[in-house]
Structure 1
């Protein structure tokens, strides 16, 4: 067969073989070792998601950060007051290469309780109840100054770090044992919002913020729109456990030891927060509490999921609508604010 191969073709074939060998060599080279996690402990904590705060640490895509957060009252793992209530934030972290229009990707590789106690509100928030059920409600005051000076509406919980259990310390029910497996989560994760807007660490919005979503724990990936160079990421407000919707207005508030890895997706154009767990992709209709009805948050989450499925998974619009219609699951993220829509990953196609 060689008689059919002239010299230019032979040279071309030799070039292709050399190129293939080169690619093979690159593929078989040992990948570089991942950088060691950076241990970063803040000396100052902030109560606003503001681009004006000094950068705590500059990191690169792929870097892993180990840090700590205070509880919602500003106390650390030793119970020492380090920041001001409520929800003091660790950060901001400046992520190299993140630009407006990109998405910041935060993978929580470790979310661990680092204290053996926490606290919650004593009763459900009035926003969780119908007006007629509030008449005759038991008083919201328990013991003055038991956990925080000037506060009487809080009760203590013991956290068993070895068993990963939480148990109400007092009052003690004569009927039911209020002891449950812990499910640590991060209440606040967000970036500096657009312009000079500097919301407090109380509400949520398109930038993330005080999401209080109990799916944001170890192994969860959170995606946030970037509005400023470096994204300016903040985290805080750890909960040992929280029911859907945070109906008491608190989780089991405690301090946390966190580890997370950051990355950047260029020109992602997100409208608001997204998340992914091992089983689901999640669109979050994130809005401040009490400003709009939950159906608005549901519409936001659903519209974003349609966009996600049609843009990144290449579903036909009608297929995206029907997948949501028959496999979607809605979570109440906060009882008077945000909703989330979850789609099981097992029904999604491979992204092209």
Structure 2
């Protein structure tokens, strides 16, 4: 199986003029080893308090610190500009986990009464295998202030993108029709994400695996992990509204962000419109049927994947496929 080694998965920018690291055929499985969001620096430094001088990534030039190193680009034979790439996550195995709070970052930054929270302080999160013998269905363990917390892992890919048509983007704040740092916890093993290709070959970049994350990623940092993932890519013709579309055996999700759509309201509404249009064009509902179902049917939910100050908000309108059984 073709692969990208971790030492090569270190790009903090992505663009169309970068030399491909890998060339794959449609449907071909390939392996990628990824870094955690800080490229191992917090593991090397040790956990607890740290300063910006301890973490060179935090001293990057504006607009933001360096994080979320990516592997890519991955060139897909036969992919053309305007195609849609259907990227299937066949396996995802987080290996070592860390979470941290950071000074001036996260949704509590500048809020009185919580000054001790948005500070530079890292915590190791131990990842233990589950029934499969891997961390794909394992548990997280975190010791913090005399308590040990444990919860189920939900491994997923935080940053996935194709190269834009012209611009070079960075891997932290970029969110656009190409993808980006969307932190969608439903982009997990067994799911397929649909992304627009803006260049021949598609030019996919991927990284920033999270071993687990709550809705909102409120502190700005999930359980960031080194990981090994196996992907495959097919070429399809269906256009992608918003940022991307996700599908698995149980659900369909349309995803957008405030940065891409312009406002929170436009992002959420765009996801609803995309879902309604799919129900009309692919499943034969009338426009009025689709519209009313968005309001009355509990099979339709809204996910708040990312809500991080300043200005990061990503959303998904999610449809349980059981909804479609009555239209089969």
TM category, shorter:
0.7 to 0.9
Q: Say whether 1:136 aligns with 2:110.
A: no
Question: Shift in Å at residue 326 of structure 1?
Answer: 2.5
1:255 is matched with 226
153, 163, 188: which is aligned to 1:182? Answer: 153
**CA-based RMSD:** 2.9
1:48 is matched with 13
3-state secondary structure, aligned to 1:322: helix
Question: Which region of structure 1 is more displaced relative to structure 2, 243-252 or 326-335?
Answer: 326-335
3-state secondary structure, aligned to 1:346: helix
194, 198, 207: which is aligned to 1:223? Answer: 194
2:139 is matched with 165
Structure 2 distance, partners of 1:97, 1:161, is 38
2:100 is matched with 120
Q: What does 1:87-102 align with in structure 2 at a 5 Å threshold?
A: 87-102=68-83
Gaps of 5+ in 2: 46-55, 58-65, 132-137
3-state secondary structure, aligned to 1:333: strand
3-state secondary structure, aligned to 1:114: strand
Q: Say whether 1:153 aligns with 2:117.
A: no
Q: 1:307 to 1:100 in 2, by over 3 A?
A: farther
2:301 is matched with 329
3-state secondary structure, aligned to 1:254: strand
* TM-score normalized with structure 2 length: 0.81
Q: Say whether 1:341 aligns with 2:312.
A: no
Question: Shift in Å at residue 311 of structure 1?
Answer: 2.2
Conserved? CA contact 1:182–1:240, under 8 Å: yes
3-state secondary structure, aligned to 1:58: strand
Structure 2 distance, partners of 1:346, 1:166, is 31
Q: Say whether 1:299 aligns with 2:266.
A: no
Q: 1:255 to 1:43 in 2, by over 3 A?
A: closer
Q: Say whether 1:69 aligns with 2:34.
A: yes
Structure 2 distance, partners of 1:137, 1:128, is 7
Structure 2 distance, partners of 1:190, 1:112, is 20
1:308 is matched with 278
Question: Shift in Å at residue 307 of structure 1?
Answer: 2.0
Q: What does 1:15-26 align with in structure 2 at a 5 Å threshold?
A: none
Q: 1:94 to 1:295 in 2, by over 3 A?
A: same
Gaps of 5+ in 1: 1-36, 143-151
Question: Shift in Å at residue 292 of structure 1?
Answer: 4.5
Question: Which region of structure 1 is more displaced relative to structure 2, 243-252 or 305-314?
Answer: 305-314
1:12 is matched with none
* TM-score normalized with structure 1 length: 0.76
Q: 1:321 to 1:73 in 2, by over 3 A?
A: same
Structure 2 distance, partners of 1:226, 1:351, is 32
Question: Which region of structure 1 is more displaced relative to structure 2, 229-238 or 196-205?
Answer: 196-205
Name whichever structure is richer in strand by fraction.
2
1:201 is matched with 171
